[in-house]
Amino acid sequence: MHKHIQKLVGTALFAAAILVGTMVLGVPLPSGGYGNFGDVFVITAAFFMGPVWGFAAAGIGSALADIILGFALYAPATFVIKGCMAVVFACLCRSVRPRAWFAMSAFLAETVMVGGYFLYESLLYGPGAALANVPGNMAQGAFGLVLSSIIVVTASANKPIMQYAAAWKKK
């Protein structure tokens, strides 16, 4: 039970970081959405928490930000999209070890975000309107990719951090 509580607390902390990262520096996009720093924490949570708990942290933190910022219509899609980003990144990081692949894993995770929002917005507004947000989502993804890759590569080069992360994932 103690290990489960630790996972819940870690998930809550990462969800809070994602929420704050998403809300603090939001940049409006043409059709009413916003770009933000949340993806940096989504990828970092996936790295430290693994796919299941990373999904929970990413989905909860990002969806709560949508609700609080007045984009509740996006919250269900955001929960799934950001959660899937975490799963993609965590699973790819487990299967490839060279640090150079972390950026590729983050790129693929960000591709999930851009594609996921394009599909969701296509359902809501049509493909033409959804296409207007693709550049903003790509910019957000590129920013998240660069900063999260720096964090993950730096952390992976630090033996004590990696030992802690490995122990955390086993709990």
pLDDT value of position 68: 94
**Distance between CA 143 and CA 10 in Å, rounded?**
24
Q: For residue 167, give both structure tokens.
A: 């122990």
Contact 140, 39 (CB under 8 A): yes
CATH architecture of 2-170: Orthogonal Bundle (1.10)
pTM for the model: 0.86
pLDDT band at 171 (very low <50, low <70, confident <90, very high): low
pLDDT value of position 99: 63
Tell me 27's DSSP state. Answer: E
Delimit the domains of the chain by residue range. Answer: 2-170
Query: pLDDT tens, 69-109?
Result: 999 999 999 999 999 999 999 998 876 666 667 888 889 99
Token pair 């122990």 is at which residue?
Answer: 167
Q: What percent of the chain has pLDDT over 70?
A: 84
Token pair 């609700």 is at which residue?
Answer: 67
Tell me 171's DSSP state. Answer: -
**Distance between CA 153 and CA 132 in Å, rounded?**
33
Using a 10 angstrom Cβ sphere, with 0-12 exposed, 13-18 middle and 19 or more buried, the burial of residue 80 is middle
Q: Which of 9-13, 98-102, 120-124 ranks highest by mean pLDDT? A: 120-124
